[in-house]
Amino acid sequence: MTDANDDSPDENETESESTVRDVDTEPTEDHPEPAMTAERFRATLEDLGRPVATAGEVARTLDWTHAEASDALDELAGTGGIERTDVTDDPVVWYPAEFAAFVDREHVVVFPERREIVVEHPEQFTRAQLTQFAHLVDSSGEGAYIYEIREEDVWWSPQDHLDEFIGTIRDVLPERAPDLEEWITSQWDRARQFALTTHPDGYTVLEAANPSLMGNIARQQLDDEHLHAPITDTESWVVEGSESEIKRTLYDAGYPVQDQRDLERGAELDVELGLELREYQREWVEQFLDSGAGVLVGPPGSGKTIAALATLAEVGGETLVLAPSRELAGQWRDQLLAHTDLDPDQIGEYHGGEKSIRPVTIATYRTAGMDRHRKLFDERRWGLIVYDEVHHIPSKVFRRSADLQAKHRLGLSATPVREDNKESEIFTLIGPPIGTDWAKLFEAGFVAEPEVELRYVPWGSEIDREEYASAEGHERRQVAGTNSAKLDAIRSLLDDHADAKALVFVEWLDQGREYAEALGIPFISGETRHAERERLFDEFRRGERTRLIVSRVGDEGIDLPNAEVAIMASGLGGSRRQASQRAGRTMRPAGNSRVYVLATRGTREEDFVRQQLRHLAGKGVRLSEAEIDDPTDP
Total Cβ atoms within 10 A of residue 287 = 15
> Top-level CATH class of 279-439?
alpha beta
Q: Are 456 and 606 in contact (CB under 8 A)?
A: yes
Q: Which is nearest to 279 in space by CA: 426, 441, 503?
A: 441
92 pLDDT band, cuts 50/70/90, is low
Q: Are 452 and 621 in contact (CB under 8 A)?
A: yes
Residues paired with 382 in a beta bridge: 406
Mean pLDDT, range 370-379, rounded to an integer:
75
The whole-number pLDDT of residue 238 equals 94
Mean pLDDT of the chain: 78
What is the C-alpha to C-alpha distance for residues 39 and 467, in angstroms, rounded to an integer? Answer: 57
For the chain, the structural domain boundaries read 15-101, 107-171, 194-255, 279-439, 448-627
The whole-number pLDDT of residue 55 equals 82
Mean pLDDT, range 161-186, rounded to an integer:
91
Provide the CATH number for the domain formed by 448-627 in this structure: 3.40.50.300
279-439 and 448-627, same CATH topology:
yes
427 pLDDT band, cuts 50/70/90, is confident
Provide the CATH number for the domain formed by 15-101 in this structure: 1.10.10.10
Per-residue pLDDT tens digits for 530-555: 788 888 988 988 889 999 998 866 44
Residue 224, helix vs strand vs coil: coil
The whole-number pLDDT of residue 490 equals 95
425 pLDDT band, cuts 50/70/90, is low
What is the C-alpha to C-alpha distance for residues 467 and 190, in angstroms, rounded to an integer? Answer: 54
Mean pLDDT, range 374-397, rounded to an integer:
79
Q: DSSP states of 508-537 as a string?
A: SHHHHHHHHHHHT--EE-TTS-HHHHHHHH
pLDDT above 60: residue 239: yes
Supply the pTM of this predicted model: 0.56
The whole-number pLDDT of residue 574 equals 44
* Per-residue 3-state assignment (H helix, E strand, C coil) for 546-577: CEEEECHHHCCCCCCCCCCEEEECCCCCCCHH
71 half-sphere exposure, CB direction, 13 A CA radius: 12
Helix runs in 114-156, H state only: 124-130, 151-155
Mean pLDDT, range 301-312, rounded to an integer:
89
